[in-house]
Amino acid sequence: MKNYKSYFRPSIDAMSGYTPGEQPKVMDLLKLNTNENPYPPCPGVVDGLKNIDTERLRLYPDPSADKLRDTIAEVYGYKRENIIVSNGSDDMLTIAFRAFSDAHNKVAFLEPTYSLYPVLANLQSCQYIEIPLNDDFSIKDDLLEKAAPSNLLILTRPNAPTANCIAIDDMRKICSEFDGIVLIDEAYADFSADNCIDFVREFPNVIVSRTVSKSYSLAGLRLGFAIGSAEIIAGMMKVKDSYNVNMLTQYLAEIAIRDQEYLNETVAKIKASRTKLTEELKALGFKVVDSQSNFLFTSPPDGDAEKLFKFLREENIIVRYFPGKKTAKYIRITIGTEEQLERLINFLKKIF
């Protein structure tokens, strides 16, 4: 056998790849680490799975996913031509990086934010600009100035892992003044008080990205969608893999998105638990960032988040810890069910 030598592009050899949150295979753990929804998907999805015409599995799915796009358009008040779907939100981000970014076109995003963005930038061999947030994770006044050399600005709203939102008026100002694409990553927007979905009508350079992974309880299905002007969507359609969303996902996501009543119920329960957990943590002396999402970003009384992360792990409670200058004093806790959060709080009461 010949010896192996690397034929990878240098930037691939140099990069370490994205580390997704753990998906532990022991299922009795209390898993509060990847912002999954603790409630099951809507009943229609459960029934839908029993009624699938399996014969159709032998055929390719609709490459343009027209039926699903029509449903999304209807529910969110747009037209089919304004909608693109993807194999989860990460696929949408990949499509955007491939469409707008390269060695000559930089991307800009907040710091801290979703840790996948720099990985995608390295993969696309484009430079990235990190726009530092204040210590309380609010934006600084020079955001537009910092973002100016880029062609694609990603604003994550609510932001991850910090859980808070840029004020809607600030969002409007940024979208109006930035000369490039503003991708508003609204993966968690169903849990926030307001959102930017109407911006697409106002700004031809805005893309709003959503997912069924969190609020619709369908992380396992992989469906992301984005809303933008017809011109932007048409360009992004050229970049996506033709058959990027499989038949079962097209079929089941459509059912889930139609059931806005179930979505609202589930979201209301999570918001109520969020309020309760926030209060209990504050009572224990934790600092809690104002959360507009289905998770909390919180710093323990002694500020030693890494120690707490490890303590919780030993107790089979998995949360997420992000080393790094601004995030190292915090842990990120997904909002679970009442019972799950009770277990967490009872344990924390023993320590603090």
| 179 CB-near residues (< 8 Å, 6+ apart) | 148
Rounded Cα–Cα distance for residues 209 and 51 (Å): 30
* C-beta of 220 vs 303, nearer to its own copies: 220
**Cis bond leading into 41, ω under 30°?**
no
How many CA atoms lie within 13 Å of 52's alpha carbon, on the beta-carbon side? Answer: 17
Strands 287-288 and 106-111, sheet pairing: unpaired
Structure tokens at 164: 């808070």
Three-class DSSP labels, 124-140:
CCCCEEEEECCCCCCCC
* C-beta of 57 vs 283, nearer to its own copies: 57
* C-beta of 135 vs 261, nearer to its own copies: 261
* Smallest distance from its own copies to CB 349, Å: 28
* C-beta of 31 vs 80, nearer to its own copies: 31
* Smallest distance from its own copies to CB 10, Å: 9
* Smallest distance from its own copies to CB 169, Å: 18
Angle, helix 43-50 to helix 247-258, in steps of 10 degrees: 150
Question: Which residues is 111 bridged to in the sheet?
Answer: 132
* C-beta of 46 vs 272, nearer to its own copies: 46
* C-beta of 294 vs 299, nearer to its own copies: 294
Rounded Cα–Cα distance for residues 322 and 306 (Å): 9
* Smallest distance from its own copies to CB 231, Å: 5
* Smallest distance from its own copies to CB 223, Å: 9
* Smallest distance from its own copies to CB 39, Å: 7
Backbone angles phi, psi at 182, to 5 degrees: -105, 115
* Smallest distance from its own copies to CB 305, Å: 23
* C-beta of 115 vs 138, nearer to its own copies: 115
Per-residue burial over 282-308, b = 16 or more CB atoms within 10 Å of its CB, e = otherwise: eeeebebbebbbbbbbbbbeeeebeeb
